[in-house]
């Protein structure tokens, strides 16, 4: 295998799947691809490279890895949102403390 993984990592089955090569990112340097809908298969851009064939077990392992990565990314994003909310609350509290401190200082002048 070219990926450097042990051949036993993805046992071969009689169900190969044809997978087009990854699209080149040099064609549109500033473009950001849109997320594919889970209802429809992703559109395959025309390419001059021939498609490759991957065994069914390897394909399923890649899908499982992708799902794990997606789940992990979602959990990380939720935690980041939580931390941002906490940081915003703390910033508001610090501003109120500062405002009160300035007001108290002005009263004593």
In whole angstroms, how far apart are CA 89 and each of 64, 76, 84, 93?
A: 38, 20, 9, 6
- On whether residue 50 sits in a domain, the answer given is no
Whether residue 86 lies inside any domain: the answer is yes
User: Is residue 16, in this structure, part of any structural domain at all?
Assistant: no
In a domain, 55, yes or no: no
Task: Say how far apart CA 98 and CA 24 lie, in whole Å.
Answer: 53
Number of domains in the chain: 1
pLDDT at 94 over 60: yes
pLDDT at 11: 47
pLDDT in tens, 53-73: 999 999 999 999 999 999 999
Report yes or no on 107 lying in a domain. Answer: yes
Within a domain: residue 58? no
SS3 65: helix
pTM of the model: 0.45
DSSP annotation of 51 reads P
Biggest alpha carbon–alpha carbon distance for the chain:
87
pLDDT bucket at 7, cuts 50 / 70 / 90: very low
Q: Which pLDDT band, with edges at 50, 70 and 90, does 106 fall under?
A: confident
Task: Give the single-character DSSP code of 12.
Answer: -
Which residue range forms the structural domain that includes residue 87? Answer: 81-109
> Which pLDDT band, with edges at 50, 70 and 90, does 22 fall under?
low
Say how many Å lie between the first and final Cα of the chain, rounded. Answer: 78
Q: Is residue 85 part of a domain?
A: yes
92-97 mean pLDDT:
95
Alpha carbon distance 90, 92 (integer Å): 5
Whether 35 is in a domain gets the answer no
Beta bridge partners of 19: 52
């Amino acid at each position: 295998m070219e990926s450097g993984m042990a051949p036993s990592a993805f046992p071969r089955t009689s169900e190969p799947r044809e997978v087009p090569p990854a699209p080149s990112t040099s064609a549109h340097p500033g473009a950001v691809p849109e997320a594919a809908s889970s209802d429809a298969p992703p559109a395959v851009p025309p390419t001059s490279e021939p498609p490759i064939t991957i065994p069914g077990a390897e394909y399923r392992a890649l899908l499982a890895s992708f799902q794990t990565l997606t789940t992990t990314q979602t959990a990380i994003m939720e935690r980041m949102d939580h931390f941002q909310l906490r940081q915003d609350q703390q910033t508001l509290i610090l501003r109120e403390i500062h405002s009160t401190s300035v007001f108290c200082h002005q009263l004593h002048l």
